[in-house]
């Protein structure tokens, strides 16, 4: 999904356009996650880009996308560009010493 969302359209409420853009992104992600996984794939992952335009878009983590959209709206941006591309995700095993460190941290709490 590669799309530029306009936030200032004549006759439309800016807040409703913002909510509609977020809903559109969430709907796309939900549809992609519901697709059957190919063999050897653990989950669907997403490569994301965000910017005020396609030329200025930078790579961002999916979890920060909605916060960046809110920030752009609060700054008064006229539009923003979002790119969300599905990719195969593979879980990596934790190193053995990382698990011991996590267990030791739990003991101190």
| Nearest-angstrom CA–CA distance, 36 and 39 | 9
pLDDT in tens, 25-84: 999 999 999 999 999 999 999 999 999 999 999 999 999 999 999 999 999 999 999 999
Expressed as residue numbers, the domain containing 62 is 2-108
Mean pLDDT of all residues in 92-97: 78
The pLDDT assigned to 96 comes to 73
- For residues 3 and 81, the answer to whether their CB atoms sit within 8 Å is yes
Instruction: Output the pTM of the full model.
Output: 0.80
The pLDDT assigned to 103 comes to 60
Q: Structurally, how many domains does the chain consist of?
A: 1
Asked whether residue 9 carries a pLDDT value surpassing 60, the answer given is yes
- For residues 59 and 10, the answer to whether their CB atoms sit within 8 Å is no
| Nearest-angstrom CA–CA distance, 37 and 61 | 22
């Amino acid at each position: 999904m590669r799309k530029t969302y306009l936030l200032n359209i004549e006759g439309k409420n800016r807040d409703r356009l913002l909510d509609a853009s977020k809903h559109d992104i969430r709907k796309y992600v939900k549809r992609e996650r519901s697709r059957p996984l190919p063999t050897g794939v653990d989950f669907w992952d997403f490569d994301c880009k965000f910017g005020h335009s396609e030329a200025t878009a930078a790579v961002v983590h999916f979890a920060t996308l909605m916060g960046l959209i809110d920030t752009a709206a609060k700054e008064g941006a006229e539009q923003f560009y979002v790119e969300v591309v599905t990719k195969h995700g593979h879980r990596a095993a934790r190193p053995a010493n990382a698990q011991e460190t996590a267990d030791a941290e739990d003991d101190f709490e």
